[in-house]
Chain A
Amino acid sequence: MNDLLLEARGIVKRFGGVLALKDISLTIRVGEIYGLIGPNGAGKTTFFNVLTGLYVANSGSFTFAGAPLEIKAPHEVARAGIARTFQNIRLFANMTALENVMVGRHLRTRAGVVGAVFRDAGTRAEEAAIERRALELLHYVGISDRANDLARHLSYGDQRRLEIARALATEPKLLALDEPAAGMNATETAALRALIEGLRDDGLTILLIEHDVKFVMGLCDRVAVLDYGEKIAEDVPEQVQRNPKVIEAYLGGALA
């Protein structure tokens, strides 16, 4: 049981008449890349939103890192160690790339208004450390040369990387990526894949939503398949690809 990072039990989410998540239970182990796939509208993003506190589940519960995860507000989920990116990139558009990542350090730093105004030695040291760490992270995801550019001026692929860097700045145990490869070309996708593998090798656990089946199957240790809010399979990629229910619901043409 010790190697479990996240356990979801019986998560239900309803939007009026739509049952977006129908009793979802799943477990993510420490250090693995866990894929979440399924057709459009299957409920993948909704699962992320419930997990990160943006939506309130109708029922169900999470255990994270050995303790019940009390989802009261998104910032508390982030504090507990879950960071995410968004399907439709949500950066701080009019802040520089570096500042975007520096905002990600907010959670792990302390300076308040008094420190900001008086700039005592402690605050200055913290500011310097924030900037240094942010720059390291930009370097890590490979966009340190864009540090001073406004986020909205970055290319699509770089914006996705920036969002990952910002998420990493919060020092997560679990990184949840919502379709990070969407809209990327082959080169960018290959680089992203290397980046995610590097993160895993550094000990991070990754929850990955992705439509690109080849990308998911090649990268993930285990994969869960959602269909109409129901989990229809959860296994290693080879098994999932052979699962008749999955082929019928989703893979069909993709693997034929």
Chain B
Amino acid sequence: MNTPMSLRKFAGIALVAAALLALPFVMALAGTAWVRITNLAILYIFLSLGLNIVVGYAGLLDLGYIAFYGVGAYVYALLASPFFGLHLPFWVILPIGATLAALFGVLLGTPTLKLRGDYLAIVTMGFGEIVRIFLNNLSRPINITNGPQGIDRIDPVSVAGISFGHDSTFLGLDFSGPVKYYYLLLLLLLGVIMVNLRLQDSRIGRAWQAIREDETAARAVGIDTTRVKLLAFAMGACFGGIAGGMFSAIQAFISPESFVLTESVMVLSMVVLGGMGNVWGVIAGAVMLSYVPELLRYTVGPIQTAVFGRTLIAPEVIRMLLFGLALVLTMRFRPAGLWPMGARKREFAMTKLDAE
């Protein structure tokens, strides 16, 4: 009974892995743009999983999450670009960015510990905006962020002398920059998913969920809610910082415009749409909200031209309209998200206990 099950599971995993490995080449057939879109989608998965720790596990509404993405992105940009003339390797910068983002997480968390719900949302939103405004204005008196112009010519990731900035051939296959990034992101994603799953099923993860369910009861059973909440903010921010670093490397150019409130709202939508607290649901939410708008971009315009002979409504408008409609419908009919968190079954030696 046991072997066929695990064999099926193994076959399933192998199939998914093969599909994921082949994906960029299939996508490349439709245009390199789709590989880039996929890379951004993976970054959104990173962000959603990070925010899931804060919102999904610990139940703390955070509307300024994109600030940590910004911190990670700027750390990378400043440490690997001609701007300061620094060119550190990415495996040095990512941990620095993650740590700094985590510190910012604690910075945000500390004054908000006593706040809940709406109040927390407002303060975190303000925090996100403050970080963005700082990025925008820290060009004077000393130029640290280069203000609204942003930072360009950011170094691409480079592993063992192979730069991810341009194409290379390997085993007769042509690996473009985006394809290489795809594999790197996939690898990082695997780690992020594992960390998320393991955190969920741990002493700290249970403490987060307890706080989400009933903070008073959590305190009464001995959980130091201050510490545990700050830990959630820090862990969530840490993921955001890593994602931001990768974003910098992939885009080669960043400016404060990438870290606006609507981005925070977008990531939150991904978490909520997919199903707060459920890693697979959150991933599905992020994938959907990353691809659907892009699909619409490529279909809405041409369809209109084909049917009416011209574009009646701008694709961008229809995109946001459908997007909003989808969110409203989901929240109306599946308020816990498309794939809500279920009770995780545990297997244990019940029989042994009952026999006593």
Contact = CB atoms under 8 A, between A and B. Distances in A.
A90 B214 contact: yes
Interface stretch (B92-100, B160-168, B173-181, B205-213): B205-213
Contact of B203 (A90, A94, A111): A111
Given A95-B213, A106-B223, A130-B203, A144 B198 contact: no
B220 A78 contact: yes
Given A95-B209, A148-B346, A149-B343, A111 B220 contact: no
Contacts of B199: 113, 116-117
A226 interface: no
A4 interface: no
A101 to B, nearest CB: 10
Contacts of A79: 222
A162 to B, nearest CB: 12
B223 A107 contact: yes
A103 B204 CA distance: 9
Contacts of B221: 78, 83, 103-104, 106-107, 166-167, 169-170
A143 to B, nearest CB: 12
B350 interface: yes
A61 interface: no
A231 to B, nearest CB: 24
B219 A113 contact: no
Interface residues of A, number: 53
Interface stretch (A13-21, A131-139, A207-215, A242-250): A131-139
Given A93-B214, A96-B346, 19 more contacts: A74-B216, A75-B225, A86-B217, A90-B217, A91-B213, A92-B209, A92-B213, A92-B214, A93-B213, A99-B206, A103-B210, A106-B206, A106-B210, A110-B203, A112-B203, A116-B205, A123-B202, A135-B348, A166-B221
In the complex, the 3 A-B pairs of residues with the closest C-beta atoms, listed nearest first: A107-B222, A116-B202, A78-B222
30 contacts: A54-B220, A75-B222, A78-B221, A78-B222, A83-B221, A90-B214, A91-B213, A95-B206, A99-B209, A103-B207, A103-B209, A104-B221, A105-B203, A106-B210, A106-B223, A109-B203, A111-B204, A113-B204, A115-B202, A116-B198, A116-B202, A116-B204, A123-B202, A136-B353, A144-B353, A144-B354, A145-B350, A147-B350, A148-B345, A150-B343
Interface of A: 52-54, 73-75, 78-79, 83-84, 86, 90-96, 98-99, 102-107, 109-113, 115-117, 119, 123, 126-127, 130-131, 135-136, 139, 144-145, 147-150, 166-167, 169-170
Interface of B: 194-195, 198-199, 202-207, 209-210, 213-214, 216-225, 231, 235, 341, 343-346, 348, 350, 353-354
